[in-house]
């Protein structure tokens, strides 16, 4: 095993071990719950403003 492959495998293993520590278990119903329309529009506006501020155009 090459050193680079060992580093990659170690990083993946440590990352997988860290997921339960920082993750948060949620119920399946929470994944499909409806998002408030007003909040969704504000999030979209914020994303569009940030993209335009960084020089994005329609086709980006």
CA atoms within 13 A on the CB side of 49: 6
Residue 3: left (phi > 0), alpha (psi -120 to 50), or beta?
alpha
Confidence band (pLDDT; 50, 70, 90) for 59? low
Average pLDDT, the chain: 85
Q: What is the pTM of this model?
A: 0.42
Query: pLDDT value at position 30?
Result: 78
């Amino acid at each position: 095993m090459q050193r680079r492959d060992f580093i990659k495998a170690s990083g993946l293993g440590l990352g997988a071990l860290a997921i339960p520590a920082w993750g948060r278990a949620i119920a399946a119903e929470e994944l499909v719950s409806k998002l408030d329309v007003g909040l969704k529009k504000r999030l979209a506006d914020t994303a569009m403003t940030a993209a335009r501020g960084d020089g994005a155009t329609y086709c980006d």
